[in-house]
Amino acid sequence: MSELEANLPLHAAIREMPCAPLAAGEAARWRDEFARLRHAAGSGAASEVDERAAVCLDEPRVAELIIGIMAGSPYLAGLIRRDPVRLARLMSRPPGAEFERVRGEMAAAMASCAAMADAMGLLRRFKADVALLTALADIAGAWPVMTVTGTLTATADAALAASTEFLFRAARAKGDWQAPARDGEAIAADSGYIVLAMGKHGAGELNYSSDIDLIVFFGKDRVRLRPGLDAQTFFVRMTRDLVRMMQERTSDGYVFRTDLRLRPDAGATQLAISTDAALVYYESFGQNWERAALIKARPVAGDSAAGAALLSELSPFIWRKYLDFAAIADIHAMKRQIHAFRGLGGIGLAGHNVKLGRGGIREIEFFAQTQQLIAGGRQHDLRVRPTLEALHKLVERGWIKPGVRDSLAASYLFLRRIEHRLQMVADEQTHELPREPERLEAFARFVGYPDAAGLSAALVPVLESVSQHYSVLFEDMPELTARGINMVFAGQDDDPDTVAALRAMGFSQPSAVIATVRGWHHGRYAAVRSARSRELLTEVQPLLIEALAETADPDAAFTMFDRFLAELPTGVQLFSLLRANPALLRLVADIMGSAPRLARVLSRRRRLLDAVIDPRTFATLPDAAEVDAIVTAELKRARDFQETLDVARVIGSEQAFLIGVRVLSGQIDASRAGEAYAVLAERLIAALLAAVERELIAANGRVPGGAACVVALGKLGGREMTASSDLDLILVYDHPPDVEASDGPRPLSATHYYARLTQRLISALGSPTAEGTLYEVDMRLRPSGQQGPVATRLSSFVRYHEESAWTWEHMALTRARVVAGEPALASRIEAAIAETLRAPRDRARIAADVRDMRERIAAEKGSDDIWNLKQVRGGLVDLEFIVQFLQLASAAHQPDILDQNTAAALVKLRDRGLLTAEAADELIPACRLVHDLTQVLRICAEGPFDPAAAPRGLQEVLARAGGEPAFATLATRLRATLAAVAALFPRIVR
């Protein structure tokens, strides 16, 4: 709605005639009724303003609107008859401005009101005004649905705030409340008395005839009661009076029906609960449904600051740090119980509940709420109250697709409109469509359809769409397998049908599978010792068995899952997660069947499954900035240096696992994986270098004008890291010539200072902690190797490579690049490396050195095993040596051939004519194949790869990575590729 339309008087803002025309006889009756009301509005006008307002009722479309409303809603007809002048006044003014006026008048009158009866009358007249105003604006199409819900919410907020302040004023007048008066400040604002709105009220989404769900707390530290008066007794009495002011029916009606049953342990606790008791309850006994309810909690009356503080303290209870599918199982169980209790099975029209029934409003709310619970602990922007805003945020975070959001949002708005019409009929908190044909036909006309068939044609597809979205998310969890097999694992004897079913599914030893599953149910492992774990296992095990059966080697996959389960401390989260995400079962099965190394990582870090189900895991690969943000955010939580090291190891293992899963699932190839592993290592090195420097500065100060950088070589330098790569590093530093020592309380010489920095960095990266190790660090490529200092000054680094370095050290330098440290020094180091590599060299001498080095390595580590991809002839060593030889021999004349990455360097060498087209056609695909297979093996296998003992699942993954239809053809191609590279080596390196 435009700003201009929002400011139109209601009679001019009518967009459509949402009530269908009445039959001729019925229309005549209601026209006569409206004529009497029009006359009453004019004759009852108390002022010239009222007389002018009554004129708007003469407009034909206003008359038709009011006639349709009165015919469809006895409740609204009663409000109109009670005060026709009010009807004219509301129709003649902009609805938004009119709401602000009546709210302001109510608040002002309540501020000076002394008697309870008078206050209750003011509140009820205010509510009646708003009830008629919102109905008129809604039905006329002047306000969209969510403006109506927002206005109804603001009405409840205003009534509660005014009532709470009234009660505190009365308590102070009586002498019970002894806080000093402050000009212009509400007494309740600093009282510690907290009124939290829950559900639709908390979310700003009250329906037309909604109850309001409240929880009331009080903080003992802010109590200002007269001596001898018990705080619990005082606040319980105040809460009882507040409820009375809201819901007691008088001659003026009521304000809002009020429900306090969402409070902690409602059957055993008082109406108002201390914040201390509340915190103990939620931390010790809080239920998952209470977490879901508290998502929408909002302070609406009393001490708002105390309310916000309480919600902040409850945040860890509401929003779990890790994804919590046990909670989701509970929330879904609530929904199933609602269906069972109310008998809400299918989708229809007559008697269908548009809130709790299939495809109803509650399913949309649960759809959003449960995903908020899943991820809101780690993604704070999902912590929003309104349903539509939650759906929008879920799209932004990649949890749902825009099309799903649009469909659910449109359905939500449509169903809320139907809900409002239902409740307008008789001001009842109902959500059920009429069952009687005559009433259903009348309601259809009230909503704007010619008959019930028209309403059904519009409503049923919406319900079916919502139900489908909800079912995909929560209810696609059949008790049987997709094949309809009902497997039995209980009892002492094997069930023959189960044995036959398992054998047909591909298990070679079905009795062993049955015995193992039976052992799970007997609590063999810690993960299945609780009753809850075994209950969830019972629900998920048919799908789990089927998923494992669909791997290339069901027996191996099942055995690995059994080992995985044996290492878990608890199974509730795992089984709940698998139950809520059937698609995840296949991925877990694939890991168990083809990636033993990933399976072991997964068993140590169960929360990795949380990240695997995040839709963005496969949609994107984090770039350096995103990895930096992850590392920075996690490390901020570390309280000391030791915790920094632990957190870094958790980040490293989890992110590396996710890269491996992407490779395993075919989402990324080896080149992208190598770069991703390298980016992760770089950002962790940079973060730990900064942490180590902080520790060193605190103890020993800084070297004035000094700086240090970390230079990576090997796999990290070439951006070709794998899941098991170590780090080849050099630390290079520099400082002004006149500086000799650091400036701290315990100064160190510059040489000693940077040596200590290096040693601490190596320890930070490589030492085991409670969270394991991060990277193995190799410093042997530094100048003078193990005999040289651990940290090298830039001038010494340059001089060494100019005067003393061996050919193999310059070969290593072709992969060197700065990955962390001070930018200005980094630029100088990069320039020095480039200058060294571009120096003129004797090609024949370089070739002889390279060939000699290759023979030495072959004699020491050589292998004929084609799966020893690094050392076998034609493997990684040969590929890297060919590239490094050509770079050293030619960079003086063609410096742009330099590139740390082997594959990229081969392309540059081909493009500059330093490789023949024939050689390039062999070497470039060979490099890609060897790196692809190396990535998979490092991710999946532990130790040497033995194709005879490898799971068929791993063989299939390798075949897919190599672009071959079968493992046997991959092996044939690999053998031929290696032979071709081995033959090229002596022809090129000469």
pLDDT digits (tens, 9 = 90+) for 712-763: 999 999 999 998 899 999 999 999 999 999 998 899 999 999 999 999 999 9
The whole-angstrom separation of Cα 279 and Cα 273 is: 10
- Please, what is the Cα angle at 339 between 338 and 341, to 5 degrees? 65
- pLDDT, mean of residues 180-204: 88
Q: What is the pLDDT of residue 461?
A: 94
Contact between residue 574 and residue 527 where contact means Cβ atoms under 8 Å apart: yes
What pLDDT, on the 0 to 100 scale, is given for residue 628? Answer: 85
pTM: 0.60
Q: DSSP assignment of 810-839, as one string?
A: HHHHTT-EEEEE-HHHHHHHHHHHHHHHTS
8-state DSSP, 863: -
Residue 631 has pLDDT above 80, yes or no: yes
Q: What is the pLDDT of residue 323?
A: 52
User: Which of 225-229, 475-479, 508-512 bottoms out in mean pLDDT, i.e. has the lowest?
Assistant: 475-479
Predicted confidence at residue 429, as pLDDT, reads: 87
Instruction: Report how far apart, in Å, the C-alpha atoms of 927 and of each of 264, 671, 756, 933, 954 are.
Output: 64, 10, 39, 10, 21
Q: What DSSP designation does 495 have? A: P
In this predicted model, which residue has the larger pLDDT, 940 or 176?
Answer: 176
Q: Confidence band (pLDDT; 50, 70, 90) for 322?
A: low
Mean model confidence pLDDT for the chain: 87
Nearest one of 185, 182, 180, 98 to 133, comparing CA atoms: 98
Residue 3 has pLDDT above 60, yes or no: no
256 contacts 247 by C-beta, under 8 angstroms = yes
First to last CA, the chain: 78
Tell me the two tokens of residue 116.
Answer: 């309870």
pLDDT of residue 552: 67
On the question of pLDDT at 548 being above 90, the answer is no
- 257 has a pLDDT exceeding 90: yes
Express each pLDDT in 771-796 by its tens digit. 888 999 999 888 877 777 889 999 99
Nearest CA to 255 among 197, 289, 209?
Answer: 209
Give 475's pLDDT tier (boundaries 50, 70, 90): very low
Q: What are phi and psi of 709, to 5 degrees?
A: -135, 150
Instruction: Write out pLDDT tens, residues 204-226.
Output: 999 999 999 999 999 998 899 99
Share of the chain above pLDDT 90, in %: 57
Q: What is the pLDDT of residues 86-137, one digit of tens each?
A: 999 999 999 999 999 999 999 999 999 999 999 999 999 999 999 999 999 9
CB 652 within 8 A of CB 583: no
Give phi and psi for 19, each to the nearest 5. -100, 130
Tens-place pLDDT, residues 7-56: 788 888 886 656 767 776 777 888 888 888 888 888 877 677 677 788 88
